[in-house]
Amino acid sequence: MLKKLYDKGHLIGPHSDRHLLYAPWEDRDSLLVTKAEFRQDLQDNLLKLSKIGIADVKEFIAPYEWYNQTIADWTSELGLTLYNFTPGLRTPADYTYPQMGKKYLSSEAIIRQLLDFEERNSLNGHIVLIHLGTDPRRTDKLFNQLERLIDLLKNKNYKFVPLNEF
C-alpha cells in the first residue's frame, strides 16, 4: 500500500522507527532521547522505506506529533524538514481504539469532523495527517477510507499537492 500511494505522488515519509516519545507531555522543552538515539531511530525508519523503493525523502513528522526546538534542529541537521498536521483537524486521532473510551473516534466520526471543519474554515493549505499503522485493537482503520475521503474532497474542487510545492 505504501509504495502504491508513493507512486501516485502521495508523500510517504518517516514517523520514527520505534515511535519514540521525544519530550515529556508535561515538559515539552526537555528531552527523553539522546541525539544518537534520535538519529539512529530515524535512520532505521528511512532504511526501511528505502528497501520498499521509497527514497529521496525530505519531510518528517515526529511521532505523537510532539517535538521541541531541539528535535527540529536535529531533524534539520539530517537534511529533513519537520512538519505537523494543521491544528483543529482530528484525523490524527485515527490511532485511538474503542478500549480508550471517550478518547476513541471512529473513522466516520473523524471524517464527519473533517468535513464539518471544512464547511466552517475551508481546507485550502491544510495538512491532513492519516496514519497507515495503528494499534491492532482499532479494526476501523481510517486509511481504509483514504480513497473515499480523497474523492469527497476532490468533488469539492480541492487539489492535493506535495508539501514541497506548498
Give the CB-side neighbour count of residue 125, counting CA atoms within 13 A: 2
pLDDT of residue 164: 74
CATH number of the domain enclosing 36: 3.20.20.370
In a domain, 125, yes or no: yes
State whether residue 15 is helix, strand or coil. Answer: coil
**109-149: per-residue pLDDT in tens?**
999 999 999 999 999 999 999 988 789 999 999 999 999 99
Q: If you average pLDDT over every residue of the chain, what do you get?
A: 93
| Domains identified in the chain, total number | 2
CA-wise closest residue to 19 among 6, 1, 5, 33? 33
DSSP-assigned states of every residue in 54-103: -----EEE-GGG---HHHHHHHHHTT-EEE-PPTT--GGGGG--GGGGGG
pLDDT of residue 4: 86
Predicted TM-score (pTM) of this structure: 0.80
Kindly state whether residues 90 and 80 are assigned to the same domain: no
Q: Which of 84, 110, 139 is the last residue of a domain?
A: 84
Kindly state whether residues 70 and 2 are assigned to the same domain: yes
Going by pLDDT thresholds of 50, 70 and 90, the confidence category of residue 161 is confident
- Expressed as residue numbers, the domain containing 98 is 86-159
Kindly state whether residues 63 and 141 are assigned to the same domain: no
Kindly state whether residues 78 and 90 are assigned to the same domain: no
